[in-house]
Chain A
Amino acid sequence: NAGVTQTPKFQVLKTGQSMTLQCAQDMNHNSMYWYRQDPGMGLRLIYYSASEGTTDKGEVPNGYNVSRLNKREFSLRLESAAPSQTSVYFCASSGDRVNYEQYFGPGTRLTVT
């Protein structure tokens, strides 16, 4: 039982390049989330998927797209990377609407030069 896995762990992009961050969970959770963490800003929600087949914008969606490929997988795509997207990206999942606990992956550290 791996929980939430993310690939890659590190990535360096040049401005204008594209890439997809992958996330998978093996806990049979319905909901999945993408966050970015920046110094002094906490964790900010980029996009989320409340259930398979649905996606919605979070607080900071501009410059990103997402795909809920199936119940297990939720990917985040940067179509044209910008230096402002340099950040640590976390994927999370949850299945419990009673205590709302989310389980996080280990993160992807992205640098855009």
Chain B
Amino acid sequence: DQQVKQNSPSLSVQEGRISILNCDYTNSMFDYFLWYKKYPAEGPTFLISISSIKDKNEDGRFTVFLNKSAKHLSLHIVPSQPGDSAVYFCAATEGGSGNTGKLIFGQGTTLQVKP
């Protein structure tokens, strides 16, 4: 039972254009969402996050949108750069005082930005 799904295994975009990576979830108890970026032979690194009380969070070229009613979030990268080529994972967690900090990850989407 995959609670967090990234249905596009790969995405290819031209440098300078927008990259949109999508993520769907099924657990309505999730209330905090994160995006991680992973280069080959390295560990994942945190990129951006969003709380369920917001519908948008922006950090430079990266913006995450959350649609709670659709249980869907997306990561927009504008403009895309060749250095953005990596695997992107979305993750979710249930908040609250009893939360242990466990993250549930999606399968990942490999982004290739062509020069």
A contact residues vs B (CB 8 Å cutoff): 4, 31, 33, 35, 40-45, 48, 50, 56, 58-59, 90, 92, 94, 97, 99-107
Taking a contact as CB atoms closer than 8 A, the residue among B34, B43, B89, B107 that contacts A40 in the complex is: B107
Secondary structure call for the B interface: loop
Greatest chain A CB density within 10 A among B43, B45, B46, B99 is at B43
Residue of A nearest to B3 (CB): A59
A59 to B: closest C-beta gap in Å: 8
B104 to A: closest C-beta gap in Å: 8
CB interface residues, B 85-115, toward A, < 8 Å:
89, 91, 93, 95, 99-108
B contact residues vs A (CB 8 Å cutoff): 4, 6, 9, 32, 34, 36, 41-46, 49, 89, 91, 93, 95, 99-108
Greatest chain A CB density within 10 A among B89, B93, B104 is at B104
- A4–B44 Cα distance when bound, in Å, is 12
Decide: A58 near B108, CB < 8 A? Known: A99-B32, A101-B49.
no
| B45 near A97: Cβ-Cβ < 8 Å | no
Decide: A43 near B105, CB < 8 A? Known: A99-B32, A104-B43.
yes
B108 to A: closest C-beta gap in Å: 5
- A106–B97 Cα distance when bound, in Å, is 30
| A100 near B43: Cβ-Cβ < 8 Å | no
Decide: A4 near B100, CB < 8 A? Known: A42-B105, A43-B89, A99-B49.
no
| B106 near A42: Cβ-Cβ < 8 Å | yes
| A104 near B32: Cβ-Cβ < 8 Å | no
| B102 near A33: Cβ-Cβ < 8 Å | yes
